[in-house]
């Protein structure tokens, strides 16, 4: 018998309900305990579904984690778009700087993003198919394209700009436990340097 034949069958409505329940309970568990410590069994127990049912939705917990992470980022990009609409009259560099600060201030609303450190990302990169990672990188590039929609022009190709701002995000995570004053001082220095180098005047 093929594996897909042994998978549980759900109606469309059941799939929607279970999928949402998985996303909700898994995000709570991941935020509290981290990716490595949470098991599929714990997720399915919290969601009140059979362990085997999990695999009808995700091949592993890493893809579920990544799905939740991407959803959080998409929500941030929507808020970023609204912020840009309200502030698009600013000069290019000022607009990018204020928008980046706005996004940093949003981070407490997304504990999973804050929880995702370099060690977690390394696990995800090892476990996830390369196509999933590539799609995520293109979504980050789309977020930067929002700047271009509001008149911002970059001095480097979008893939270079994307990697540079991803590196800045890595620094944010690295400095998470540092004194807030020091953290903002370092971020301001790095952000100003990136913006001056990558954004046209």
Question: What pLDDT, in 10s, does the model give residues 147-190?
Answer: 999 999 999 998 899 889 888 877 777 777 778 788 888 888 99
| Top-confidence residue, 44 or 13 | 44
CA nearest neighbour of 77 among 114, 134, 69: 69
CATH superfamily of the 1-58 domain: Homeodomain-like (1.10.10.60)
pLDDT over 50 (residue 3): no
pLDDT at 2: 43
Determine the average pLDDT of the residues in 54-75. Answer: 94
pLDDT over 50 (residue 128): yes
pLDDT at 8: 63
Angle between helices 92-106 and 180-198 (to 10 degrees): 150
**Three-class secondary structure assignment of 141-199:** HHHHHHHHHCCCCECCCHHHHHHHHHHHHHHHHHCCCCCHHHHHHHHHHHHHHHHHHHE
Q: Where are the domains of the chain?
A: 1-58, 61-198
pTM: 0.83
Query: Contact, 128 vs 62, CB < 8 A?
Result: yes
pLDDT at 1: 39
């Amino acid at each position: 018998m093929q594996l897909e034949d042994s998978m549980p069958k759900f109606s469309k409505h059941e799939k929607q309900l279970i999928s949402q329940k998985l996303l909700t309970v898994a995000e709570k568990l991941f935020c509290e305990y981290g990716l490595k410590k949470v098991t599929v069994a714990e997720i399915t127990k919290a969601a009140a579904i059979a362990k085997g049912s999990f695999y009808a939705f995700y091949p592993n917990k890493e893809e579920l984690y990544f799905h939740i992470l991407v959803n959080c980022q998409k929500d941030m990009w929507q808020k970023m778009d609204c912020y840009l609409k309200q502030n698009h009259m600013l000069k290019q560099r000022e607009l990018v700087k204020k928008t980046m600060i706005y996004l940093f201030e949003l981070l407490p609303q997304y504990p999973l993003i804050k929880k995702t450190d370099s060690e977690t990302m390394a696990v995800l990169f090892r476990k996830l198919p390369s196509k999933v990672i590539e799609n995520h990188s293109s979504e980050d590039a789309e977020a930067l394209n929002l700047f271009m929609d509001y008149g911002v022009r970059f001095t480097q190709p979008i893939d270079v700009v994307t990697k540079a701002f991803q590196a800045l995000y890595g620094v944010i995570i690295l400095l998470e436990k540092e004194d807030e004053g020091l953290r903002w001082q370092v971020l301001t220095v790095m952000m100003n340097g990136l913006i001056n180098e990558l954004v046209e005047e």
